[in-house]
Amino acid sequence: DAGVTQSPTHLIKTRGQQVTLRCSPKSGHDTVSWYQQALGQGPQFIFQYYEEEERQRGNFPDRFSGHQFPNYSSELNVNALLLGDSALYLCASTSQGTLKETQYFGPGTRLLVL
Amino acid sequence: QKEVEQDPGPLSVPEGAIVSLNCTYSNSAFQYFMWYRQYSRKGPELLMYTYSSGNKEDGRFTAQVDKSSKYISLFIRDSQPSDSATYLCAMSAGGYQKVTFGTGTKLQVIP
């Protein structure tokens, strides 16, 4: 079992550009959440996807959007990048069924905006 | 004021010591409480998941929740150098929906 996988591992962009990050959940999981973790801070919840719909959203602007595919994998898109978007972006997966007490994180994508 | 407050440390203890990590929170709606361990440049790893007040034990780890005081704790017995990491408390009103994390406490266990 590969666990939660994310790609790419690192990314460098310039202000104003757009970025797409990808996540594959752990086998058996159907729910994907995205978090932003700034240096020295705890993860901040961006949004959660279940059944290909955004179910919950944190306090992030509309520049942050996402998508979930029928195979439960997910993408996070960030438009009009700002310097403050530089962070570790974490994907976490869980299940609405019998595995609902477990949430696994991927290794993250480290985004640097110059 | 942040919804979840956690002392960032760093906390340095000798091997074999009992470690106590704590968080306070202000949102009375929080019902689910978690502790994660995060090694440098890795994603967080779930250690404990508890619902409402009470204690939960798993090996060397014990989680305590006191909802009346809005205070949660994680105890690590017989601490090992491999326990050196950042420990994050987290909580939510509904399972893994909209989880709010503390800033993390960096722990170092000295051999």
Tens digits of residue pLDDT in A59-80: 999 999 999 999 999 999 999 9
Task: Write the pLDDT tens digit of every residue in B5-18.
Answer: 998 889 999 999 99
Contact list in A for residue B45 (CB cut-off 8 A) is: 105
Cα B26 to Cα B4, B56, B101: the distances in Å are 7, 22, 13
HSE-CB for A88 with a 13 A CA cutoff: 19
Q: How far is A105 from chain B (nearest CA, A)?
A: 6
Using the predicted structure, report yes or no on whether residue A15 has a pLDDT greater than 90.
yes
Quick one: pLDDT band at residue B53, thresholds 50, 70, 90? confident
**CA separation for the pair A32, A50 (Å, rounded):** 7
Q: Which of A26, A17, A14, A10 is nearest to A74 (CA)?
A: A26
Nearest-CB residue to A45 (from B46, B99, B103): B99
Is residue B14 within 8 Å of residue B109, measured between CB atoms?
yes
Record: contact B43-A107, CB cut-off 8 A: yes
Task: Write the pLDDT tens digit of every residue in B55-100.
Answer: 999 999 999 999 999 999 999 999 999 999 999 999 999 878 889 9
Using the predicted structure, report yes or no on whether residue A100 has a pLDDT greater than 80.
no
